[in-house]
Amino acid sequence: MKKNILFLAILAMCGGSAFSQTTEPTINSTDNSSNSQWTIGAAVGVTLNVHDAGVGYMKAFSYTPYFGIGADLKVRYNVTNWLACRSGFYIMGKNYVLMHEKVDNIDAYGTLAANNYIGIPLMADISVGNKVKWHFLLGGYAGYWASARRKGTSIPILEAEGHEMLTEHDYQFNSVRDNRFDAGIVAGVGLAIPCSSKIDIDVEMLYYHGLTDVQKVYMREHNPRYNSTVDLNVGVSYHF
- For 135-174, the three-class secondary structure string (H helix, E strand, C coil) is EEEEEEEEEEEEEEEEEEEECCCCCCCCCCEEEEEECCCC
pLDDT digits (tens, 9 = 90+) for 148-191: 999 987 655 444 444 556 778 899 999 999 999 999 999 999 99
Residue 22 CA to residue 19 CA, distance in Å, equals 9
| Predicted pLDDT at 23 | 40
| Predicted pLDDT at 24 | 42
Higher pLDDT, 229 or 15: 229
pLDDT digits (tens, 9 = 90+) for 204-228: 999 999 999 999 988 887 888 999 9
Query: CA end-to-end span of the chain, whole Å?
Result: 41
Residue 6 CA to residue 127 CA, distance in Å, equals 23
Read off the DSSP letter of residue 130: S
Whether residue 18 is predicted with pLDDT greater than 50 in this model: the reply is no
pLDDT digits (tens, 9 = 90+) for 179-204: 999 999 999 999 999 999 899 999 99
Instruction: Measure CA 85 to chain center.
Output: 18
Query: What does pTM read for this prediction?
Result: 0.80
Read off the DSSP letter of residue 8: H
| Predicted pLDDT at 20 | 44
Quick count: other Cβ atoms within 10 Å of Cβ 47?
22
Provide CB contacts within 8 A for 14, sequence distance 6+: 85, 122, 123, 124, 139, 140
Whether residue 109 is predicted with pLDDT greater than 90 in this model: the reply is no
Determine which helix (DSSP H) or strand (DSSP E) holds 30, and give its type and residue range.
Answer: none
Domains parsed from the chain with CATH numbers: 2-239 (2.40.160.20)
